[in-house]
C-alpha cells in the first residue's frame, strides 16, 4: 500500500516536473498565478468591506464566513509561493487546485451571479503551455463546480428565475429580500437543486467547455512556440560560438607575435589585420623561405564573411607551400592560380602581392596578381606608390601567367603593403580615404619604426572615417630593410 | 545602394547601374543577370553612374564574363576613372571588353 502511494507520487511528480526548456516559463506562470490570487484577495477584501458597510445586500453570516475563508486560503497560497519564490514543481498543481477550490467556494455562495469564476482556473492553466494540464483543470473544474452548484442551490443566493411554485402560492413579504420570501414560501430543496443544476450549471458548463477548448489550443500553440524559439536560440548560439572560434583560428593562422624574428637585425617587420566582420577575407603572411630569403604576402579575397575566410585559408596554405619550394614569385602565383582554378565553381578569387626579399643584398623580387600598388620608400626618401606590373586576380581564369619584377632596397628603405580596406575606407559622406591621404599618413614620420608607421595610418583612417561603420577589413604590413649594419 | 535599370530587346540585355556595387548590393545584380542569361547573346553593362565597385562586384563581372564567353559577348561601357583604376589594378581590364 505504502509502496503504491510512493509510486503514484513519483509518477505525479514526474508528470508535473517540466522539461528544462519550460522551467523559466513555468516560474513566470506561477508568478502570474500568485498575482491572480493576490488580485482576487483584494477584490474579496473590497467586497467584504462593502458588505460590512451595508452597500452589498448579501446574506450576512454566510457571506462573511465564506469570504473570510477564501481570503485565508488565498493568503496561505500566496505565502507558500513567496517562500518558494514561485519556483517548485508542486506549485503548479497546488495553485491550480487551490484556485479551483477558492473560486468554487465563492461560486457556491454567489451561484448565478458570478459565472466568470468558473473559467478563471482553466484560462490561467493555459499559461503553463501544457494541453494535458488544461484538460486536467477542466475536468477538476467541472467536478468541483458541480459540487458547489449542488451545495449553493440550497445555501447560496437563490436564482429567482428558476424557482417554480405551485399555482396559487402566496408570498408574504416580511421585509428584506425576495429570496428570503421565496424560501419562506416553502420552495423545496429538491426542486432548487434540480433546477439549479439543469438551468444554471448546465448552460454555464456548456459555455465553460468552449473556453476550455480555446485554452487547450492556446496551451498547445504556446508549447510549440516555446519549443521552436528554444531551437532557434540554441542554433543562433551555436553559430555564434562557431564564428568566434573560426575568427580565432583565422587570427592564429597569421603570424602575430612581434618581433617575429628577434635574432634578425637586418630587417624589421610589423603587420596588423582588423576585420570589419567577425571573419574576413584579407590576409597577410611572412616567413623565411631559407636563411637568406624572406617571403611576404598581402592578399584580399573577394567578398566577406565565412565564404571569404574559407577561401582565404586555402589560398594562404597553397601560396605558402609553393613559396617554401623555393620558386620565384611569378611561379608561385602561376601555380597557385592553377591549383585554385582547378576547383573553384563558386568563382571566388583573391588578389595577391607576393615578394621575396634577399636579405643579404636587399634585392626584392615580386609579382602582383591584381592587388593594390605597393608603397616603397627608398633610403631617406618619401613613401611613393610603386605602379608595378599587374597580372589578373588569382582564381579568376585558368592559365594566367604572372611576371616578376625586381627592385633594390637600400638600408633604411621601407615597403608598405595594404589591402583595399585602407584606400577605400569611407566616411559618412561616402568619400574614399584614397591613396593620397594614405601616402600623407605614411609620410608623417617616414623614418618611424614599422609598428609606428602602421599606427599612423590606422589613426589617420580612423580620424577620416569617424563615426561611419568600418566597411572593409583593414590589413597592413610594413617592412624596414636595415641591411648588414 | 545600387539601382539596376534593365532593358531587354531580343537577345540583348542592357543593365544601367547607379550607385555602389559592393558586398551588399552585388548579389542583387548577380541574381538579375542569372535570370536573363538563358539564350542571351549580348550583355551590356552601363557603368556611367556607378561610383564604386568592390571585389564582390568584380566577382559578379567575372562570372558574367565567363558565362557570356560561352554564348555571346559582353561589354562594359562608360567606365569612370575610379572604377577604371580598380579594373587596371586587378587586371580585369585585360579580360573585360571596355568601351
What ipTM did this prediction achieve? 0.80
Long-range contacts, stretch A24-31, CB < 8 angstroms, 24+ apart: A25/A128, A25/A129, A25/A226, A26/A92, A26/A128, A27/A86, A27/A87, A28/A127, A29/A92, A29/A127, A29/A128, A30/A81, A30/A86, A30/A87, A30/A91, A30/A92, A30/A95, A31/A86
Residue A63 pLDDT greater than 90, yes or no: no
Chain B contact probe: residue of A351, A393, A475 with most B CBs at under 10 A? A393
For residue A144, say if its preceding peptide bond is cis, omega within 30 degrees of 0.
no
A369 to chain B, any CB pair closer than 8 A? The answer is yes
Tell me if the pTM is above 0.80. Answer: no
Domain ranges (residues) in chain B: 2-95
pLDDT in tens, A337-395: 999 998 887 788 999 999 999 999 999 999 999 999 999 999 889 999 999 888 899 99
A472 to chain B, any CB pair closer than 8 A? The answer is yes
Q: Do A304 and B90 touch (CB under 8 A)?
A: no
Q: Do B92 and A392 touch (CB under 8 A)?
A: yes
* Least CB–CB distance from A370: residue in B22, B56, B90: B90
Q: What pLDDT score does B88 carry?
A: 87
pLDDT in tens, A164-184: 777 877 777 766 667 777 766
CA distances from A392 to A315, A374, A401, B59, B67 (A): 15, 16, 8, 12, 18
Domain ranges (residues) in chain A: 2-235, 258-481
User: What gap in Å lies between CA A429 and CA A442, rounded to an integer?
Assistant: 24
Q: What pLDDT score does A147 carry?
A: 92
**A351 neighbourhood in chain B, CB within 8 Å:** 55, 90
Q: What pLDDT score does A357 carry?
A: 96
User: What gap in Å lies between CA B86 and CA B99, rounded to an integer?
Assistant: 15
Q: What pLDDT score does A226 carry?
A: 92
B81 to chain A, any CB pair closer than 8 A? The answer is no
User: What gap in Å lies between CA A350 and CA A307, rounded to an integer?
Assistant: 12
| Torsion sign, CA atoms A247, A248, A249, A250 | positive
Q: Across A251-391, where does the E strand assignment appear? A: 267-274, 282-290, 293-301, 350-358, 363-369, 375-377, 384-385
Sheet bearing A384-385, strands edge to edge = A267-274, A474-481, A413-418, A375-377, A384-385
Q: What pLDDT score does A275 carry?
A: 73
Q: Rounded to the nearest 5°, which phi and psi values hold at B5?
A: -105, 120
Contact assessment for residue A371 and residue A353, using Cβ atoms and an 8 Å cutoff: yes
Q: Do A303 and B22 touch (CB under 8 A)?
A: no
A282 to chain B, any CB pair closer than 8 A? The answer is no
DSSP designation for B96:
S
A388 to chain B, any CB pair closer than 8 A? The answer is no
Q: What pLDDT score does B27 carry?
A: 87
| Torsion sign, CA atoms A437, A438, A440, A441 | positive
The CATH class, in words, for B2-95 is alpha beta
Contact assessment for residue A142 and residue A101, using Cβ atoms and an 8 Å cutoff: no
A391 to chain B, any CB pair closer than 8 A? The answer is yes
In percent, the amount of chain A with pLDDT more than 90 equals 51
Q: What is the CATH number of domain A258-481?
A: 3.60.40.10
Amino acid at each position: 500500500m505504502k509502496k503504491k502511494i510512493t509510486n503514484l507520487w513519483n509518477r505525479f511528480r514526474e508528470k508535473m516536473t517540466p522539461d528544462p526548456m519550460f522551467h523559466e516559463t513555468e516560474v513566470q506562470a506561477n508568478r502570474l498565478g500568485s498575482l491572480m490570487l493576490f488580485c482576487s484577495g483584494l477584490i474579496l477584501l473590497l467586497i467584504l468591506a462593502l458588505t460590512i458597510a451595508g452597500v452589498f445586500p448579501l446574506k450576512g453570516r454566510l457571506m462573511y464566513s465564506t469570504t473570510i475563508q477564501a481570503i485565508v486560503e488565498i493568503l496561505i497560497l500566496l505565502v507558500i509561493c513567496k517562500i518558494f519564490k514561485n519556483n517548485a514543481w508542486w506549485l503548479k498543481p497546488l495553485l491550480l487546485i487551490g484556485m479551483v477550490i477558492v473560486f468554487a467556494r465563492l461560486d457556491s455562495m454567489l451561484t448565478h451571479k458570478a459565472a466568470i469564476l468558473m473559467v478563471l482556473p482553466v484560462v490561467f492553466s493555459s499559461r503553463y503551455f501544457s494541453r494535458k494540464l488544461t484538460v486536467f483543470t477542466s475536468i477538476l473544474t467541472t467536478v468541483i463546480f458541480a459540487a458547489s452548484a449542488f451545495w449553493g442551490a440550497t445555501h447560496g443566493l437563490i436564482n429567482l428565475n428558476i424557482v417554480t411554485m405551485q399555482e396559487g402560492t402566496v408570498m408574504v413579504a416580511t421585509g428584506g429580500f425576495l429570496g428570503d420570501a421565496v424560501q419562506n414560501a416553502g420552495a423545496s430543496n429538491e426542486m432548487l437543486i434540480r433546477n439549479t443544476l439543469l438551468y444554471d450549471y448546465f448552460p454555464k458548463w456548456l459555455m465553460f467547455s468552449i473556453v476550455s477548448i480555446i485554452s487547450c489550443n492556446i496551451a498547445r500553440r504556446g508549447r510549440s512556440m516555446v519549443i521552436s524559439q528554444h531551437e532557434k536560440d540554441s542554433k543562433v548560439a551555436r553559430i555564434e560560438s562557431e564564428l568566434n572560434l573560426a575568427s580565432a583560428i583565422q587570427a592564429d593562422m597569421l603570424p602575430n607575435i612581434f618581433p617575429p624574428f628577434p635574432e634578425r637585425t637586418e630587417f624589421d617587420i610589423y603587420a596588423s589585420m582588423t576585420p570589419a566582420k567577425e571573419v574576413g577575407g584579407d590576409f597577410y603572411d611572412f616567413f623565411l623561405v631559407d636563411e637568406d630569403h624572406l617571403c611576404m604576402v598581402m592578399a584580399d579575397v573577394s567578398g566577406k564573411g565565412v565564404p571569404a575566410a574559407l577561401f582565404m585559408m586555402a589560398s594562404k596554405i597553397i601560396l605558402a607551400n609553393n613559396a617554401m619550394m623555393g620558386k620565384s614569385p611569378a611561379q608561385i602565383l602561376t601555380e597557385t592560380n592553377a591549383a585554385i582554378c582547378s576547383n573553384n565553381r563558386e568563382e571566388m578569387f583573391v588578389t595577391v602581392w607576393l615578394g621575396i626579399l634577399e636579405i643579404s643584398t636587399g634585392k626584392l623580387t615580386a609579382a602582383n596578381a591584381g592587388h593594390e600598388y605597393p608603397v616603397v620608400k627608398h633610403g631617406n626618401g618619401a613613401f611613393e606608390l610603386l605602379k608595378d606590373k599587374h597580372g589578373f586576380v588569382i582564381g579568376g581564369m585558368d592559365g594566367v601567367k604572372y611576371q616578376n619584377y625586381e627592385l633594390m632596397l637600400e638600408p633604411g628603405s621601407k615597403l608598405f603593403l595594404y589591402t583595399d580596406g585602407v584606400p577605400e575606407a569611407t566616411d559618412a559622406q561616402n568619400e574614399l580615404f584614397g591613396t593620397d591621404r594614405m601616402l600623407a599618413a605614411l609620410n608623417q614620420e617616414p623614418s618611424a619604426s614599422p609598428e609606428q608607421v602602421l599606427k599612423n595610418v590606422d589613426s589617420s583612417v580612423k580620424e577620416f572615417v569617424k563615426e561611419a561603420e568600418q566597411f572593409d577589413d583593414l590589413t597592413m604590413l610594413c617592412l624596414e630593410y636595415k641591411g648588414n649594419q | 545602394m545600387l539601382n539596376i535599370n534593365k532593358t531587354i530587346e531580343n537577345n540583348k540585355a542592357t543593365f544601367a547601374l547607379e550607385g555602389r556595387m559592393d558586398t551588399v548590393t552585388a548579389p542583387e545584380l548577380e541574381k538579375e543577370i542569372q535570370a536573363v542569361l538563358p539564350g542571351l547573346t549580348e550583355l551590356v553593362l552601363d557603368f556611367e553612374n556607378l561610383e564604386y565597385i568592390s571585389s564582390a562586384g568584380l566577382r559578379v563581372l567575372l562570372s558574367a564574363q565567363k558565362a557570356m564567353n560561352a554564348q555571346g559577348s559582353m561589354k562594359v561601357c562608360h567606365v569612370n576613372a575610379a572604377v577604371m583604376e580598380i579594373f587596371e589594378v586587378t587586371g580585369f581590364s585585360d579580360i573585360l571588353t571596355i568601351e
